[in-house]
Chains A and B, each alone.
Chain A
Amino acid sequence: MGINGAGRWLLDASLSCGVYRSVQCRHGAHVPQAIAGPSIGSILPSVSFAGRHICSITDLSREDLLTVMANAREIESAPPVGLLDHRVMATLFFEPSTRTRLSFESAMARLGGRVIGFTDAASSSAKKGESLTDTVRMAASYSDIIVMRHPREGAARLASEASAVPVINGGDGSNQHPTQTCLDLYTICKLFPGLIDGEELVITFAGDLRYGRTVHSLLNALTHFPVRLQTMAIPGLEMPDECLQLAVKRGIKVDEVPDLQAAVASSHVLYMTRLQEERFPDPVELAHIRGSYRLHAGMLDEAHPHLRILHPLPRIHEIAPDVDASRHAHYFAQAANGIPVRQALLAMCLGVL
């Protein structure tokens, strides 16, 4: 498995040299598009996901991840019509969600499937005291696949043990959000296809690295690839030791960078996360941190030429709106990648791909 060696991505080439072209999206950002070189589509899907649950990124091997990437790429390049005709997806959202729920519903609708479900616990039988497993058993009998978000950690795993149909975790408390990780990885692979076969990419995680589940899961997934990781944490919210130990165990080097300026100068990917303001009860401290942890367009003058800024969204104060128009901003394109990735996962778990 691997990509065509003749078409490897060129780290030191300028973005304007023809490796990428830049198109303006409707948000005003310039979105780099790979127009030459390798594509994820050259990887052959090799793993069957039929009937599998997707509860945690730790359930997915490197082969699994590559298969998801390949199928997402195939769907994105040639959207299949009616692939999931007559299939029903149940969305059990026990807490609010914007991007995850909408992108799953859109993914299903675009493949011809239908959606049933609820969007908060108050409109489900959970409010009457029904157990999670009873709710899931009922939903499994009405649908072909379940997508679930729940405020308790481990809820998706418990649901998968009660369900007769595949369960996809759309977020369980601060634990896992594997489809977000898949779309993050897909975004990085699209931008830098060399990730897959040995080019060392420098990826910096910035922000709340302690409680942000997206960075933990993405770090886990990236350890299957030859990356070099950097961290730039808000003081007191550093990456947990177990995440760093996993990276070290898998031979991944992790360094700290002192500030965002250093991060943009040295990274191919800067993965920003939101400051979880509820963790800072002192408004003076919060204001100080907000000021010290905010990326604005003026900081990008010295950026690495290939830098791409990612963010799982919603962004609050950590990325100024003036960054959106930069050629380095890529977070809205990243969110859009949620559709083909979730289409791929739905079709794979339903045994259609």
Chain B
Amino acid sequence: MPHRVRQVEAIANGTVIDHLPSRVTLKAAGLLGMPDDQLFIGVNLGTNKDHPGKGVIKIANRELSDLFLSRLAMIAPGATINIIRDYNVVQKSPVRVPEAFTDIARCPNRNCVTNHEPCGTRFDVQSQDPLTVCCHYCEREFEAAGLPLL
């Protein structure tokens, strides 16, 4: 049996965000803000010639806000959320991609009315893989991962 080495420290209680693309892992961690407790970040885990590797974020003693989960769905729609209690996974669920993202990101189209009027933004999901969205107002399509978050 191969010897398994834990690459990122385990947490007793909290949340593990798994299956993040490595390239967005640091961005996702940044969205959490400065945590009060332990935070572990791993990138390029399991990288080999056939697999680009993944990212993992472990946050001790904290469950994630709806706002964070919406933002996470935009940049990492394939991620999974694990709730940890006493070192065990008690709940595992994929990130839920909504039909529309409201007030999560800014429209990159500089001439979009949302960049010039006091109003919110909304992006309607067009396709899942890759996740593309359409601005509800200017009707331009974008890859969700590249949108500037609010």
Chain A interface (Cβ < 8 Å from any Cβ of B): 56, 58, 131-133, 150-155, 157-158, 172-176, 242
Interface of A is mostly: mixed
24 contacts between A and B (CB under 8 A): A56-B139, A131-B117, A131-B118, A133-B117, A151-B111, A152-B111, A152-B116, A152-B117, A153-B109, A153-B111, A153-B113, A153-B137, A154-B112, A154-B113, A154-B114, A154-B136, A154-B139, A155-B117, A172-B113, A173-B111, A174-B111, A175-B138, A175-B139, A176-B139
Indicate whether B135 reaches chain A with its CB closer than 8 angstroms: yes
Give the CA-CA distance A174 to B138 in the complex, in Å.
9
Give the CA-CA distance A318 to B113 in the complex, in Å.
31
Give the CA-CA distance A58 to B137 in the complex, in Å.
12
Does B137 contact A158, Cβ atoms closer than 8 Å? yes
Chain B residues, CB < 8 A from A174: 111
Name the CB-closest residue of B to A132. Answer: B117
Within B64-107, the residues touching A (CB, 8 Å) are none
Does A152 contact B139, Cβ atoms closer than 8 Å? no
Chain A residues, CB < 8 A from B111: 151-153, 173-174
Chain B residues, CB < 8 A from A172: 113
Chain A residues, CB < 8 A from B112: 152-154
Chain A residues, CB < 8 A from B135: 154
Chain A residues, CB < 8 A from B139: 56, 58, 153-154, 175-176
Do A157 and B137 form a contact, CB below 8 Å, given A132-B113, A173-B111?
A: yes
Do A155 and B113 form a contact, CB below 8 Å, given A173-B138, A175-B139, A176-B139?
A: yes
Name the CB-closest residue of B to A152. Answer: B113
Indicate whether B143 reaches chain A with its CB closer than 8 angstroms: no
Interface of B is mostly: loop
Considering the complex of A and B, which 5 residue pairs feature the smallest CB-CB distances, nearest first? A154-B137, A153-B138, A154-B113, A154-B138, A152-B113
Give the CA-CA distance A279 to B113 in the complex, in Å.
22
Does A157 contact B117, Cβ atoms closer than 8 Å? no
| Count of residues in B whose CB is under 8 Å from the partner chain | 16
User: Closest CB-CB distance, B136 to chain A, in whole Å?
Assistant: 7
Does B141 contact A158, Cβ atoms closer than 8 Å? no
Q: How many A-B pairs fall under 8 Å by CB?
A: 51
Chain B residues, CB < 8 A from A155: 113, 117, 137
Interface centre among A132, A151, A153, A175 (most CB of B within 10 A): A153
Indicate whether B119 reaches chain A with its CB closer than 8 angstroms: yes
Name the CB-closest residue of A to B140. Answer: A153
Do A242 and B113 form a contact, CB below 8 Å, given A133-B119, A157-B136, A158-B119?
A: no
Chain B residues, CB < 8 A from A153: 109, 111-113, 137-140
Name the CB-closest residue of A to B115. Answer: A152
Give the CA-CA distance A176 to B112 in the complex, in Å.
12
Name the CB-closest residue of A to B119. Answer: A158
User: Closest CB-CB distance, A91 to chain B, in whole Å?
Assistant: 19
Chain A residues, CB < 8 A from B117: 131-133, 152, 155, 158
Do A158 and B113 form a contact, CB below 8 Å, given A153-B138, A175-B138?
A: yes
Chain B residues, CB < 8 A from A242: 141
User: Closest CB-CB distance, B100 to chain A, in whole Å?
Assistant: 13
Give the CA-CA distance A1 to B140 in the complex, in Å.
33
User: Closest CB-CB distance, B124 to chain A, in whole Å?
Assistant: 11
Given contacts A157-B113, A173-B138, 10 further A-B contacts (CB under 8 A): A131-B118, A152-B111, A152-B112, A152-B117, A153-B113, A153-B140, A155-B117, A157-B136, A173-B111, A176-B139
Chain A residues, CB < 8 A from B119: 133, 158
Name the CB-closest residue of B to A157. Answer: B137
Give the CA-CA distance A174 to B118 in the complex, in Å.
21
Chain B residues, CB < 8 A from A56: 139
Give the CA-CA distance A56 to B139 in the complex, in Å.
9
Give the CA-CA distance A153 to B109 in the complex, in Å.
9
Within B110-133, the residues touching A (CB, 8 Å) are 111-114, 116-119
User: Closest CB-CB distance, A212 to chain B, in whole Å?
Assistant: 15
Give the CA-CA distance A56 to B135 in the complex, in Å.
13
Give the CA-CA distance A155 to B111 in the complex, in Å.
10
User: Closest CB-CB distance, B145 to chain A, in whole Å?
Assistant: 18
User: Closest CB-CB distance, B116 to chain A, in whole Å?
Assistant: 6
Give the CA-CA distance A154 to B113 in the complex, in Å.
5
Does B113 contact A150, Cβ atoms closer than 8 Å? yes
